[in-house]
Amino acid sequence: MTFIVTVDVALFTLQENRLSVGLIRRPKEPFLGTWALPGGYIHPQEDANAHHAAARILQQKTGVISPYLEEFGTVSGGGRDPRGWSLSVIYFALVPPSVLVGGVELFAVDALPPLSFDHADIITQVVARIRSKASYSSLPMHLCAEEFTIPELHGVYQSIMGVPLAMAGFRRKLDDLDAIEAITGAIRPTGKSRPAQLYRIKPEFEKVLSVRERGF
Amino acid sequence: MTFIVTVDVALFTLQENRLSVGLIRRPKEPFLGTWALPGGYIHPQEDANAHHAAARILQQKTGVISPYLEEFGTVSGGGRDPRGWSLSVIYFALVPPSVLVGGVELFAVDALPPLSFDHADIITQVVARIRSKASYSSLPMHLCAEEFTIPELHGVYQSIMGVPLAMAGFRRKLDDLDAIEAITGAIRPTGKSRPAQLYRIKPEFEKVLSVRERGF
């Protein structure tokens, strides 16, 4: 009647414009020494809920605190862990490369090494979710540095979505999202006559997404 | 280190054009006799995964087999169940009223009775997800009878979304979704000169959604 319950966190960043995931080598059996998502057990005495467990495990295993941390869903069954029937709640985090402190090794999501458990499958599914959400939300903004220019943000969206995006349409959709604000007096020289204005995510969208409406 | 792990299923249908949820009275403590979502424990010996557990529990507690069954996410923590720290994987199902066999009592989602645990909160969150997904997907089609007319489907979308939808735009978006097919030779008299063509969900969209693209 009992079974294994864990939390695993897929931590994403951009490396050379490629969406990349942070992996660690398993410090114990099963899959000792094999690459894996950072994960661990929920500690009911310590974790207010599964989301808190994910934040704790991410920080303990990788040193990263990610303001944006979203539940992807669960994976479960008898075939995914040699120790027996298991259920894992999967979370994903998006951070700029600057916050990574060496606790993980980065791999482009289209060039993954052999992975433990069903983690390759999980990463594939989470990446599909991220690409889909990128198309209508502020999600990719969490991959940017704290201060960024519009052309930089445009580049991030293009990297995630894998398609060129016309700048005029991109700016209009950014206006719809209303998730960033210009930083007063903060500009960056561009080598051209006009320096670039710097922006940041609005505080109210650091932990939740801004989503564009569509539909019937 | 151990805690309670359960699955709960929010079963929705339309009753008098109102989105309604199927509840049962708790047969035991805690919350004996109080309304609740059908739920139960995962049985690792019997359930291939949590999704199978949800389908089994839904059928055992309500008699309903729902082709469409989607994971909403987890709720967890120390405060939601008087027995101790618990995690529940929440699923939702959408069915036409005709498949209900008396195993549940229906309540309009805006007129719920007092509920067990955090189930009122869960229903509120799932309803928001359903209304959001209705705006860009085939989700509401699962509330229709097996055979339906376009005006009937239009009425279902309007009931879920709570707004009037112009028929021309609605038909165009239905074309985008490409999730229904006309049933050859199946028509229904309408009292007007032209009978109405009957449609059904395409088999490939009985368990997964068709989704309209939007975005950058």
Rounded to 5°, the CA angle A153-A154-A160 comes to 90
| CB within 8 Å of chain A, chain B residues 56-95 | 71, 73-78, 84-85, 87, 89
Token pair 């303001």 is at which residue?
A: A67
Using the predicted structure, report yes or no on whether residue A216 has a pLDDT greater than 80. Answer: no
pLDDT of residue A5: 96
Task: For the beta carbon of residue B185, count every other beta carbon within 10 angstroms.
Answer: 7
* Band of residue A78 on the pLDDT scale cut at 50, 70, 90: very high
For the whole model, what pTM was predicted? 0.95
**Quick check: A134 and A140 in contact, CB under 8 A?**
yes
User: What's the rounded Cα separation, in Å, for the pair A66 and A69?
Assistant: 6
Confidence at A132, pLDDT banded by 50, 70, 90: very high
CA distances from B115 to B4, B34, B38, B88, B107 (A): 19, 6, 12, 16, 11
Distance from B4 to chain A by nearest Cα, in Å? 10
CB contact (8 A) between residue A216 and residue B48: no
- Contact check, Cβ <8 Å, A87/B48: no
- In this prediction, residue A84 carries a pLDDT of 95
At residue B7, the pLDDT reads 98
| B3 inside 8 A of chain A by CB | yes
Amino acid at A106: L
* Residue from the list A2, A74, A134 with its beta carbon closest to the beta carbon of B89: A74
Candidates A78, A161, A216; nearest CB to B165 = A216
- The SS3 of residue A180 is strand
What is the average pLDDT value for chain A, to the nearest integer? 95
Q: Stretch A132-137: mean pLDDT, rounded?
A: 93
Alpha carbon distances (Å) from B201 to A28, B152, B207: 48, 13, 10
Confidence of residue B213 (pLDDT cuts 50, 70, 90): confident
**Mean of the pLDDT values across residues B57-74?**
97
Residue B202 — very low, low, confident or very high, per pLDDT cuts 50/70/90?
Answer: very high
pLDDT of res. B120? 98
Measured distance CA(A190)–CA(A188) in Å, rounded: 6
Q: pLDDT at position A160, please?
A: 95
In this complex, do A84 and B170 lie within 8 Å of one another by their Cβ atoms? no
B140-198: pLDDT as tens digits: 999 999 999 999 999 999 999 999 999 999 999 999 999 999 999 999 988 877 899 99
Q: Do A74 and B50 touch (CB under 8 A)?
A: yes
β-bridge pairing B4-15 and A180-188:
unpaired
Q: ipTM exceeding 0.90?
A: yes
**Domains defined for chain A, CATH in brackets:** 4-134 (3.90.79.10), 139-205 (1.10.10.10)
Quick one: average pLDDT of A22-43?
96
CA angle (A109, B213, B157) in 5-degree steps: 135
CB B187 within 8 A of CB B198: yes
Enumerate the residues of chain A whose CB falls inside 8 A of the CB of residue B87. Answer: 5, 42, 50, 89
Q: Does the pLDDT of residue B214 top 70, yes or no?
A: no
pLDDT at B147: 96
Which pair of tokens denotes residue A47? Answer: 């974790």
Contact in structure between A122 and A37 (CB atoms under 8 Å): yes
Tokens coding B204: 């490939």
Top-confidence residue, B101 or B68: B68
